């Protein structure tokens, strides 16, 4: 008997572009009342089982006009909690990126994009408050250490590299640290 390949390597797992399309379609059906919270949650649970599927879902759900992540149906919260640390990781990174981009757009006077980044920041914060508390706490502590240029270890180093790869300056890192603290409030 051989070990089955994880879903992230399965040919059945959607590509990132496919996940974007699937997520947009499902959210549209949900918003139109053609898909129940429970059916949507089941489908999202399957989608976020792969990294590209989860990335696609969050790009669409965090940025779109649809109120899905503003309402956070209980069935969806349960499905996202069950998806585990991958969802926590992506949500924490989305919090960091959107926070840094709020400041970037503010500096350039781009109010429209600033508002969009603020929406992603708000939705990421609220979702993190609903995910598994221990996993969220551990993930945010690592990200906070990296943002504050403190801590050691592979996870902190990976987050530090993530922040550096995007070129976030000191003020943006301070804003990320403040946003992380806000999750606990």
- List the pLDDT tens digit at each of the 185 positions of the chain: 333 333 344 557 899 999 999 999 999 999 999 999 999 999 999 999 999 999 999 999 999 999 999 999 999 999 999 999 999 999 999 999 999 999 999 999 999 999 999 999 999 999 999 999 999 999 999 999 999 988 788 999 999 999 999 999 999 999 999 999 999 87
User: In this predicted structure, what is the pLDDT of residue 34?
Assistant: 97
Which tokens hold the place of 110? 């781009």
User: In this predicted structure, what is the pLDDT of residue 3?
Assistant: 36
User: In this predicted structure, what is the pLDDT of residue 61?
Assistant: 97
Nearest to 92 by CA among 44, 50, 142: 142
Is the entire prediction scored with pTM above 0.85? yes
User: In this predicted structure, what is the pLDDT of residue 11?
Assistant: 54
- Find how far residue 54's CA is from the centre of its chain: 8
Nearest to 44 by CA among 90, 95, 92: 90
User: In this predicted structure, what is the pLDDT of residue 9?
Assistant: 44
Which residues are CB-neighbours of 95 under 8 A, at least 6 positions away?
121, 124, 125, 128, 176, 179, 180, 183
Which tokens hold the place of 135? 């996993």
């Amino acid at each position: 008997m051989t070990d089955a390949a994880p879903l992230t390597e399965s040919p059945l797992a959607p590509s990132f572009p496919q996940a974007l399309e699937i997520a947009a379609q499902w959210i549209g059906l949900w918003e139109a009342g053609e898909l129940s919270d429970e059916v949507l949650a089941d489908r999202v649970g399957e989608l976020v089982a792969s990294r590209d599927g989860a990335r696609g879902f969050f790009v669409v759900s965090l940025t779109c006009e649809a109120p899905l992540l503003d309402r956070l149906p209980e069935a969806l919260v349960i499905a996202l909690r069950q998806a585990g640390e991958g969802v926590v990781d992506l949500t924490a990174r989305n919090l960091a990126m959107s926070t840094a981009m709020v400041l970037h757009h503010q500096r350039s006077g781009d109010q429209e994009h600033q508002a969009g980044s603020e929406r992603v920041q708000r939705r990421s914060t609220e979702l993190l408050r609903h995910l598994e508390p221990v996993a969220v706490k551990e993930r945010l502590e690592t990200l906070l250490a990296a943002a504050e240029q403190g801590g050691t270890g592979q996870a902190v180093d990976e987050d530090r590299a993530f922040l550096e790869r995007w070129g976030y300056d000191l003020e943006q890192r301070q804003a990320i640290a403040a946003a992380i603290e806000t999750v606990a409030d």
